[in-house]
């Protein structure tokens, strides 16, 4: 089997999220094609209002070692965003029972890629257990800790934009999302 056929394929979507084609991961992340592809983000809160963040694994092709959203991942071809969110929460943090609500869909563009982000906030009675293949560490952060670390190259640029855009530092999170 050649390398190209074994490579993960991402759906390429229009700005409304309609799948229009498929493209290999390397093409979507090469900084040249800028093909729009869909992802999900989950902002997981505990009952104290703290936000769980993950430190991206050193092996990640994009932004290794940066703190990021609780859960984040690509939507597979033909997959609904909610199904991708549940799959990624299980794969990355071992969460089987999450309560969540949709917050916003937006386009994130960096020097390497363009993503259509489906962002959710939520909670779970499960204790997060990190997948070491995906995440180097994870923990709940207080709003004060996050605020003090903004702009200090601790977080991914997308997380910094999203936390402000969604007012996550002022959001009163309810456990019954």
pLDDT of residue 176: 40
| Strands in the chain per DSSP E | 9-13, 19-24, 36-44, 51-56, 67-68, 71-74, 98-109, 114-124, 135-141
Q: Rounded mean pLDDT of the chain?
A: 92
| C-beta of residue 40 within 8 angstroms of C-beta of residue 73 | yes
Percentage of residues in the chain with pLDDT exceeding 70? Answer: 93
pTM, rounded to two decimals: 0.91
Nearest by Cα to 38 from 6, 85, 97: 85
Q: Say if residue 157's pLDDT is above 90.
A: yes
pLDDT digits (tens, 9 = 90+) for 45-69: 999 999 999 999 888 878 999 999 9
pLDDT of residue 45: 96
Domains of the chain: 3-165 (3.90.79.10)
Sorted by sequence, the CB contacts under 8 Å of residue 82 that are 6+ apart come out as none
Q: How far apart are CA 168 and CA 173, in angstroms?
A: 9
* Mean pLDDT for the stretch of residues 151-171: 91
pLDDT digits (tens, 9 = 90+) for 13-34: 999 999 999 999 999 999 999 9
Q: Say if residue 101's pLDDT is above 50.
A: yes
Q: Which residues pair with 67 in a beta bridge?
A: 55, 155
* Mean pLDDT for the stretch of residues 1-21: 82
Q: 104-139 burial, b for 16+ CB within 10 Å, e for fewer?
A: eeeebeeeebbbbbbbbbbbbeeebebeeebbbebe
pLDDT of residue 4: 45
Where residue 103 falls among pLDDT bands split at 50, 70, 90? very high
Place of tokens 């004060």: 144
């Amino acid at each position: 089997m050649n390398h190209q056929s074994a490579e993960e394929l991402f759906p390429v979507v229009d700005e409304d999220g309609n799948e229009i084609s498929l493209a290999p991961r390397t093409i979507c992340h090469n900084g040249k094609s800028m093909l729009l592809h869909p992802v999900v983000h989950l902002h997981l809160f505990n009952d104290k209002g703290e936000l769980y963040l993950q430190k991206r694994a050193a092996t990640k092709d994009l932004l290794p070692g940066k703190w990021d959203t609780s859960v984040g991942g690509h939507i597979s071809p033909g997959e609904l965003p909610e199904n991708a969110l549940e799959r990624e929460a299980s794969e990355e943090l071992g969460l089987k029972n999450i309560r969540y609500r949709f917050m916003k869909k937006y386009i994130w563009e960096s020097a390497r890629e363009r993503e259509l982000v489906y962002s959710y906030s939520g909670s779970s009675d499960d204790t997060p257990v990190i997948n070491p293949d995906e995440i180097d560490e994870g923990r709940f952060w207080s709003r004060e800790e996050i605020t003090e670390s903004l702009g200090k190259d601790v977080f991914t640029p997308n997380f910094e934009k999203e936390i402000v855009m969604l007012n996550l530092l002022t959001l009163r999170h309810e456990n019954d999302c």
